[in-house]
Amino acid sequence: MDPLMRSQRKFQRLLVTAWVLCVSIDQSSDMAQRWHCSLFYLPLLCVLCLHSGQAVKVENVLTQSNFYQTEEPTGEYMFQFDEDEIFYVDLDKKETKWRLPQFGEVSTFEAAGALQNIGIMKQNLNIMIKRSNHSAAVSVRPEILTFTENPVVFGEPNTLICYTSKFFPPVIGIEWLKNGQPVAAGVSSTDYYPASDGSFSRFLYAAIIPEQDDVYTCSVTHDGLKTNPTYKTWSPEAPAPYSEMYENVICGLGLAVGILGIIIGIVLIFKAIKNQRRAY
């Protein structure tokens, strides 16, 4: 059995998750409603599902992710559109945080509704803790990938990204190190993004200026890892310059094409002159 499936059957941190899945229905559908929405509440984890008796064409997917758990972060309330974050609710400050400020100019969301949902989940969590007798869940280890936003050019600003994915539960520690020392300035992270298989992902960004011989390390801590922390290193490598031989070959080909064009042009000119003489 898949670890994620096993984790749904056991309880440790006893995460309560609510999802809303809304998919737009194709115009040709006989269904009267434009949107088909399904709301699911499951202990620990909920996999996105679609209940429909007929085939539908999915145009866009709106995902609502809510969870509450005993470990930090204790909860999350956020919305995604086609897997891109729209907003989340800061449960401590009790306010809505838009991923892009422009979103807040055209829409609003009252944080009070999210806080009410989280409160209900907290009550459900306490009930599940008693019913489960604190049984342990299976932690699923994260996959770790490091890369840059743009091609590397030494001395030019870039963004270094550490992407952790396919892990459960949504409790993970991520840190950037430069030459063995923690990076504090220019570092930011995302919320926990849900996946359709019930796992989570998270990004950690670092604003850097790549220099030769620098070594960056993404340090990841999670219960699913055999070794904590686990490290993923990244070293800046500028694109390899073209060799002199390669440049000579390119120049030679260009020269050959140019000469061939000249020859063809001369031949066409002589043919045109010849045809004109025949016409007279």
Q: Residues 52-68: what's their mean pLDDT?
A: 74
Architecture of domain 143-234: Sandwich (2.60)
Q: Per-residue pLDDT for 44 more than 80? A: no
Q: Residues 101-116: what's their mean pLDDT?
A: 91
Domain with CATH 2.60.40.10 in the chain: 143-234
Cα end-to-end span (Å), the chain:
90
* Phi, psi (degrees; rounded to nearest 5) at 220: -125, 135
* Phi, psi (degrees; rounded to nearest 5) at 104: -70, -15
**If residue 9 lies in a helix (H) or strand (E), which one and from where to where?**
helix 3-9
Position 254 confidence tier, pLDDT thresholds 50, 70, 90? confident
| 159/274: higher pLDDT | 159
Of 70, 164, 157, 161, which is closest to residue 121 (Cα–Cα)? 70
Residue 220: HSE in the Cβ half-sphere, 13 Å Cα cutoff: 29
Q: Are 29 and 21 contacting, i.e. CB atoms less than 8 angstroms apart?
A: no
Q: Are 91 and 85 contacting, i.e. CB atoms less than 8 angstroms apart?
A: no
pLDDT of residue 24: 31
Position 193 confidence tier, pLDDT thresholds 50, 70, 90? very high
Position 240 confidence tier, pLDDT thresholds 50, 70, 90? low
Q: Per-residue pLDDT for 108 more than 70? A: yes
For the chain, give the percent of residues with pLDDT over 70: 74
Which residue is associated with the tokens 């399904």?
A: 38
The CATH label, of 3.10.320.10, 3.40.190.10, 3.40.630.30, 3.10.20.90, for the domain at 3-132 is 3.10.320.10
Query: Computed from CA positions of residues 11, 174, 205, 233, in that sequence, does the dihedral angle turn out positive or negative?
Result: negative
DSSP calls for 47-77: ------SS------EEEEEEEE-SSSS-EEE
Taking the CA atoms of residue 96, residue 102, residue 106 and residue 112 in that order, the dihedral angle to the nearest 10 degrees is 0
| 204/71: higher pLDDT | 204
Q: Are 116 and 129 contacting, i.e. CB atoms less than 8 angstroms apart?
A: no
Instruction: Using DSSP bridges, classify how beta strands 187-189 and 200-208 pair: parallel, antiparallel or unpaired.
Output: antiparallel
Task: Provide the H-helix boundaries in 70-211.
Answer: 101-106, 111-132
Cα–Cα distances in angstroms (integers) from residue 17 to residues 67, 213, 269, in the given order: 4, 45, 78
**If residue 20 lies in a helix (H) or strand (E), which one and from where to where?**
strand 16-24
Considering 129-133, 182-186, 235-239, 263-267, the range whose residues carry the highest mean pLDDT is 182-186
Position 163 confidence tier, pLDDT thresholds 50, 70, 90? very high
Considering 28-32, 39-43, 137-141, the range whose residues carry the highest mean pLDDT is 137-141
Of 64, 107, 106, 116, which is closest to residue 85 (Cα–Cα)? 64
Q: Per-residue pLDDT for 102 more than 60? A: yes
Q: Per-residue pLDDT for 19 more than 80? A: no
Q: Residues 54-67: what's their mean pLDDT?
A: 78
Domain with CATH 3.10.320.10 in the chain: 3-132
Q: Residues 95-116: what's their mean pLDDT?
A: 92
Q: Is the pTM of this model over 0.75?
A: no
pLDDT of residue 39: 30
Tell me the pLDDT of the chain averaged across its residues. 78
Q: How many Cβ atoms from other residues are within 10 Å of residue 162's Cβ?
A: 24
pLDDT of residue 30: 32
Which residue is associated with the tokens 């941190």?
A: 13
pLDDT tens digits, residue range 112-123? 999 999 999 999
Amino acid 113 reads G
pLDDT of residue 153: 94
Q: Residues 98-104: what's their mean pLDDT?
A: 90
Amino acid 71 reads E
